[in-house]
Structure 1
Amino acid sequence: MQRFGTLSFGHYGPLGGGRQLTAADSMLEAIDLAQGMDDLGVDGTYFRVHHFARQQSSPMPLLAAIAARTERIEVGTGVIDMRYENPLYLAEEAASVDLISGGRLALGVSRGSPETVVRGYETFGYTGSQDPRGADIAREHFDLFLKAVEGEGLAARDGASAFGAGATGMQRIEPHSPGLRSRIWWGAGNRDSAEWAGRVGVNLMSSTLLTEDRGLPFDELQAQQIDAFRAAWREAGHAGDPRVSVSRSIFPLVTAEDHMYFGGRQDGDQIGVIDGMRSTFGKTYAAAPDVLVEQLLDDAAIRLADTLMLTIPSQLGVEFNLRVIESFATLVAPSLGWVGTRG
């Protein structure tokens, strides 16, 4: 494990007992937490994107704010639902955040996760899908987005325009960030999409939910997906080594408060049906730090990935989450090979 960071779902709303976490609270706390993580030397802070839900839905302003308040930490998404996106506007926003951050954006995109509404992307104006889950729209949007990020000319210059200085040919979108292409990730939910990402030449984000069930433990199923991705990358002839991330729910049990919240959360893999597909859900790790080290070293997918994303209970606030992250950084991560960015 070369890097680790956090993956936040950005939930807000009622907390019980008459308490309320507002959307503003959620975003401002995310900025404060990222600053604390930057000081600890944690490598990244990433956000899930969900529309029509009390969660983060428009990540670019948040990522820009975090980038402006931090120095080292990678900022990113895991993942942006491409069914909802104007690909050229997203490319402009992504380039802007990447330039503001000094090249610290890691942009995870995909078809997206199951929705709280029926085909919500159609309400955003993206219709005509032939797939019940809109996968064809997501791929079309991604193809155009990738061309824009690569700097391909997409619109004919107007030589007669007073603003065009007589230029002809094709114009790329602006701004353009040259290094961003190498930090685009595809969130793959199965082996086929992982292989596709390898052929295209983007990094791989693999989550704790796979839309597959082949009778294998989750970590082995995910490890096979990672192997297939890297094989497809090599066969396509791409240069260098791609990055691979996996996400896990991991809680070092150090204090009485840790035990109160997560002491009974250790469980096994789960099988269920989501989006009409039989799926495998990864387990939660919650144990004393020395036990966690043994368990995580035995996780086949974590051994293959270079980046580990910890899903965090963002509703519990900055102080609690920062303490959990610090426990992982000091008591668990070094035994997994992590060095960190501080200093």
Structure 2
Amino acid sequence: MEKKIGFLSFGHWRDAAGSQTRSGGDSLLQTIELAEAAEELGVDGAYVRVHHFERQLASPFPLLAAIGARTRRIEIGTGVIDMRYENPFYMAEEAAAADLISGGRLQLGVSRGSPETVLNGAYTFGYVPPEGTTAADLAREKTSIFLDAISGKAVARTDPARTGISGGLAIQPQSPGLRDRIWWGAGTRQTAQWAAAQGMNLQSSTLLSEDTGVPFDKLQAEQIQLYRDAWKEAGHTREARVSVSRSVLPITEEIDRLYFGNQENEDQVGLLEGVRSRFGRTYAGEPDQIAAELAADEAVRSADSVLFTVPNQLGVAYNARILETIVKHIAPAIGWTPK
């Protein structure tokens, strides 16, 4: 499968010295502008992270629809939506609408979500796991309902008193092909295998909530292979897609060195919610050095899509320059072909 590249923005905003995104409005509008700039550079995808109760992007569908209306080619997506917070039927309507506006370019990443600063945030939204189940169970159940809804299955009944008939009703609108463009953000090898069984594409997390002592890229590559094996075993007829994300900060000017010259370029291992976890490293340095390191990255080689996280608070022009450097000097080394 052809290698694709995209950017991933968390949409941080804060009214602080040096920040180019002083408000939520700045973050939203600049994400649209960066997607336009990325498309002009030949980048394949514009993805956003979703976090609630924080100064980050939180309501993806208006943003994705706006990007879809302002661009023509670039894929638009999430990495990821925390399904614990979602009404799956309303989300199905929103997703179909955004996909139709973009002409079928939506690549929607969903998952259980990541650790948060808020305590029981989904509970505040009114979503509490039934007794005897976990938050992960709740996210998977909602995902199953969502997948049925966007597949056109009947999820409600007509009112015979008003229509004179009794029958099933599907969520509207429907967007053909959207079901094949849903991704599951997996933080373990087991959840990657589960995603394959459900027929979802894989977004392999940069935070793996397990650690076997091997480097991050090798552990992630193992997860990807287990996913592909499970996909084949499930008998799906289409080809699965797999993405990984990397924090890449090329240093080409003195200002870059001031910002990123002291980055720790090693995996991080630690306890997260009581589980020994492994975090992916940051790649900061000269473009040729980064290109060589990513070319040797086993998970990057295994994936068909690589998402590069951007320091969005530095502004559109700065991040467009980072993406231009990636396009010209880094992405070709990992098998990406310029558009």
TM over 0.5: yes
Q: Deviation at 1:158? A: 2.2
Q: 2:187·2:207 contact (CA, 8 Å) conserved in 1?
A: yes
**Backbone CA RMSD of aligned residues:** 1.6
Cα deviation code 1:280-306 (max 9, x no counterpart): 001111121221121011101000000
Corresponding residue for residue 78 of structure 1: 79
1:133 Cα offset (Å): 6.0
CA distance, structure 2, for counterparts of residue 132 and residue 215 of structure 1: 31
Q: Work out whether residues 205 and 245 of structure 1, in 8 Å CA contact, stay in contact via their aligned partners in 2.
A: yes
TM-score, normalization by structure 2 = 0.96
Q: Which residue of structure 2 aligns with residue 10 of structure 1?
A: 11
Q: Deviations over 1:296-340 (max 9, x none)?
A: 111010000000000110000001000000000011112222124
In 2 relative to 1, CA 69–19 (structure 1 residues): closer, same or farther, beyond 3 Å? closer
* Cross-structure match for 2:196: 198
Bigger CA drift: 212-221 or 283-292? 283-292
1:1-343 matches, within 5 Å, as 2-16=3-17, 21-130=22-131, 134-161=135-162, 164=163, 166-340=164-338, 342=339
- C-alpha contact 2:20 2:313 (8 A) present in aligned 1: no
- Which amino acid is 1:48 matched to? R
CA drift of 1:238 comes to 0.4
Q: Percent identity?
A: 54
Give yes or no for contact 1:130–1:136 (8 Å, CA) kept in 2.
no
Select between 127-136 and 249-258 the one with higher mean Cα deviation: 127-136
Structure-2 change in CA distance of 1:227 and 1:114 (3 Å): same
Residues 167, 103 of structure 1: CA spacing in aligned structure 2 closer, same or farther, 3 A cutoff? Answer: farther
Give the stretch that moved more between structures: 249-258 or 44-53. 249-258
Deviating 4+ runs (over 6 angstroms): 17-20
Tell me by how many angstroms 1:131 deviates.
7.1
Q: CA deviation at 1:130?
A: 4.8
One-letter amino acid of the structure 2 residue matched with residue 313 of structure 1:
P
In structure 1, list runs of 5 or more residues that go unmatched: none
| SS of residue matched to 1:13 | coil
C-alpha distance 277-131 of structure 1, shift in aligned 2 (>3 A): farther
Q: Cα offset for 1:32?
A: 0.8
The answer (yes or no) to whether the contact 1:207–1:248 under 8 Å persists in 2 is no
Cα separation, 2, equivalents of 1:132 and 1:331 = 48
Query: In structure 2, the residue corresponding to 1:309 is in which secondary structure?
Result: strand
Alignment-mate amino acid for residue 185 of structure 1 = W
Contact residue 129 and residue 137 of structure 2 kept, 8 A: no
Q: Distance in 2 between matches of 1:211 and 1:16?
A: 34
2:8 is paired with a residue of what secondary structure? strand
Asked whether the 8 Å contact 2:13–2:19 carries over to 1, the reply is no
Long gaps (5+) in structure 2: none
Spell out, residue by residue over 1:142-186, the C-alpha distance to the aligned partner (whole angstroms, 9 max, x if none).
11001001110111122432xx4x453211100000110110000
Encode CA deviations 1:159-217: one digit per residue, 9 max, x unaligned: 432xx4x4532111000001101100000000010000011110000121100111110
Task: State the distance in 2 between where 1:173 and 1:253 align.
Answer: 48
Offset at residue 128 of structure 1 (A)? 3.3
**1:260 Cα offset (Å):** 1.6
Aligned in 2, Cα 1:221/1:61: closer, same or farther, shift over 3 Å?
same
Specify whether residues 79 and 258 from structure 1 end up closer, same or farther in structure 2 by C-alpha distance, changes over 3 A only.
Answer: same
Contact 2:19/2:314, CA 8 A, preserved across alignment: no
Following TM superposition, by how much is the alpha carbon of 1:116 offset from its aligned partner in structure 2, in angstroms?
Answer: 1.3
Task: Output the CA distance in 1 between the equivalents of 2:261 and 2:19.
Answer: 25
**Closer/same/farther in 2, CA of residues 127 and 213 from structure 1, 3 Å limit:** same
- Count how many residue pairs are aligned between Structure 1 and Structure 2: 338
Q: Give the residue type in structure 2 aligned to 1:158.
A: D
State the 1:241 CA deviation: 1.3
Q: Can you list the C-alpha shifts for 1:14-50, whole angstroms capped at 9, x where unaligned?
A: 3337987100011011111111111111101111111
Return closer, same or farther for 1:130/1:168 CA change in 2, 3 Å cut-off: closer
Output the TM-score relative to the length of structure 1.
0.95
